[in-house]
Amino acid sequence: MRLLPHPPLAHPTRPVHGGARKPTRRAALAALLLGTAGVAVWQWQARATQGSIPSANLSGVGDDVCIVAPPTPYNPASGQALAAAREVPADARCPVCGMYPARARAWAAQVIFADGDAYFFDSPLSLMQYLGNVAHYTRGRTLEAIVARYVTDTGTGAWVDAPQAVYVAGSSALGPMRAGNLPAFADTAAAQRFAQQRGGRVLGFAAVDAALLQSLAPQRGSAETHAH
């Protein structure tokens, strides 16, 4: 009886531990690249979305800017009366436009309150605008609490009581902001001579109204008629 050879024994398959096979190195690299691409796409979409959001309407911003102009307190040691005109401090700022009145002393103006605090202005125009809306430019203040108002005489440089001064509107003289203003004078004759040389019309304190202020400073927005 012929014996047949035995078939070769099959090697047992090595069991795989932990379930599925671990990802290969190439697969891991591919996953990393896909993740990076996804982040880039997300960032691009975020920028695109941000650019599509309509911006706030800023038209008119700048026409009425909030300016912090601290008052200058009264100094009893100065020997001056509380309501007397004072020299302009170098660091004083105009509460209307933010300029430093001391840098254009020939145009400066000021108001003094009953508590002794003073505010300084770069020009008669800014003073008039301030008097039209005191609480707006200096919160907590009222027109009734003002005890003195002064402007600078264009001819002499001396302080003049603002309600008693004479003004020239529409002349070629440009104020500190390089625009039309209200040069002030202690007497009518001086104002008339100035108007003959530089143009404009002569008017008193009571004649300065909202329409005139608006024509001289349209960029500052509408102005209320100042009280006297």
Domain ranges in the chain?
A: 76-219
Question: What is the percent of the chain with per-residue pLDDT over 70, rounded to a whole number?
Answer: 67
In contact, 138 and 68? CB cutoff 8 Å: no
122-162: pLDDT as tens digits: 999 999 999 999 999 999 999 999 999 999 999 999 999 99
Strand order, beta sheet including 109-113:
118-121, 109-113, 146-152, 159-161
81-93: pLDDT as tens digits: 999 999 999 999 9
The pLDDT assigned to 15 comes to 47
Average pLDDT of the segment spanning 63-89: 89
Is pLDDT of 173 > 80?
yes
Distances (CA, A) of 46 to 33, 36, 38, 42, 49: 20, 16, 12, 6, 5
The pLDDT assigned to 94 comes to 97
Q: What is the pTM of this model?
A: 0.69
Q: Comparing C-alpha atoms, which of 56, 204, 210 is closest to residue 129?
A: 210
